[in-house]
Structure 1
Amino acid sequence: MKPVFWLLLGLLSAMPACAQSAPVAVTAETLQTHQRYLAGRLQEGQFAAIDSLLATLSRERREFLLLQLLRDIPATTPASPALQQWVEAQADKAPEWLMEQQVDGFLVQQPVYDFAARARQLLGEWQLQSLMQRYRQQLAQGSFQLKSIYYSSNPDLAMQQQALLLALDTLPQPIWMREAQALASQNIYLPDNHLLFHLLQRTGEPALYSMLWRRPADQDALRALSTISRFHHGSAASDLLIAASGNEGLKGAALRQLSALSPLPPQAQKYLLAELSNRQYGALVAGLLMEVDEPQLLSALARRLGQRDMPPIAPSLLPDSGTPDGQPGL
């Protein structure tokens, strides 16, 4: 028998200390018999028989077995309408066997066997799988419309975006390129930068980078910077990184990545030298340039640093030459 079964059985037998009432004594053989029966009825789709047996059991046995049964239902297999309806009914129920636990210093009552939470999890996973299959078919046919899910009042956008990304992962490269170009050509609501980053990982579409740089920076935007070197080199990479540095949230990371280009394109050298006068980033740029193996750039850096205005030096701090003010011999 699986270790988890023995653990749960032990809990079921030892709960009087923490439950509201003492559970009826059970045996492993009884539970196994019930489990086999319930699994068989589930496989046959006989949900009325399942409910009939569960109704004859104590709440402790009922909720324990119901949770085990729901855990055995695969989320990756499409559910029949009857199975989905039965799981929905379990999700609407409230577990009755509760125990007190301390959470953030407060005593709260929580289900011992939260079968309703497992039922809701199943329903969510089935919905995600259904959406993914629908989007995959639409993407393959070229009929998917980004604006069908990307609008600000869509309450299901998070799940729908997740399904879209999962669907894309199963499709060939030409479809990625088509969707990347379609997104770049639209003025569309995006809740975050996750779709942009996901598409950039596989396409490196320049227009998507430009779109991303105009948005508030987040972790996905920072991660997108690292994809540039996978698709672009030389002047093309330099132009993208210079544009990225116009986003304050990306500037530091973009400057570091720009200085790491080798050889450093002329426009990148010119831009980095100009950034030396930036009060916030000048010191960072100077340090980055000192690590660049470009003799001409290092010479330009030395000249630029030497041209900086020095504060006036007080006469009393000038070195004493030892020569008196008067003419010698007078």
Structure 2
Amino acid sequence: MPYNQTVTGTITIDVLFQLHLQHDYFVKEIYFLAPLPFNASGIVLDTEPRKIGSTGPIDFHCPEANHTCMQVFRVEVDTSLVQQDCMGPLRARADSALREGVVANLSRGTGYTYVPELSVPVRFSNGKPACPARDEPDYEPDLPVIAAGFNDFPWSYSRMTILRDKIPMRPIRGKWRLRQLQSFDQRQYNRITPVVAPVTRSFVTLNPRFHLLPNVIIGSVQLDKPNMIWENLEIDTTLLPNGRNILFFRSDSFIAPGTTFPDAIPWLQGVNHTFSGGKPHPGGTQSAVLAFAFFVDNPQPPRPPAPPSPEPSSGPGNSGGGNGMSM
């Protein structure tokens, strides 16, 4: 992703997509979305998701059960389709569906449409009108990296973000402080009552290997709490190996069986969606994951000096020529 970079015209992005033990599903499209335009009061003017790049229809799936499959897809993204020039989120999203012949069973989690999304800040520069300045004199735009997980009821989607800090682009050393890690369900974040999908776990670990079956490696757990978080996290990189490391951040939201999601979107006045259609949710846990690599370069401790070589003995039976015998 062109993280924190200026983008102009058409850019090429290679997307590595992985399916982990998901034989029943196939990925049907990977695409990029333009940021939503807003006015000087911060009100979104148009909620229509506008694609600015897509693979088109695809059929990517694992040919065998209980396998992890991966493939790289090249997407041409036309940033000139974005209506405003300024810092804004570039959003990558993928749609999945059940493969032909697979019987849906929502009580077991089979049958949902799963949609992961990753949003990173970029600066759009295509000679378009500048984004309107917010009226508040102390306003500072938040353009964090955001990961989200949707299903068929996406107005209950789970999100997490590193709100106040940037992902390190250069090697780091010593104490690394991440400001304001945040996990939340969208309705809870916007103070909707009652909360329909409360966050039930926030989890951060380093260098996990969850798909190293059967010997899964959880990694170095940095945070594990049974609720939503909004806090800083300090990582001692001297305890990590130099070179490439992985930070893994997951948020879980529990949905009680029988929950019905309202179609109104209270924080977007006059905007309604009919995703749930009044159908009760069969219940379960939906998750979002944000994982990225970072590099550590701590000074290595000096090597201890090599012990001195023993001086040759001139005693009886040894002429110093190295013909001795050791037991």
Pairwise same-fold verdict (TM > 0.5) = no
More strand by share: 2
Tell me the TM-score normalized by structure 1.
Answer: 0.17
Q: TM-score, normalised by structure 2?
A: 0.17
Structure number with greater CO (CA < 8 Å, separation at least 6) is 2
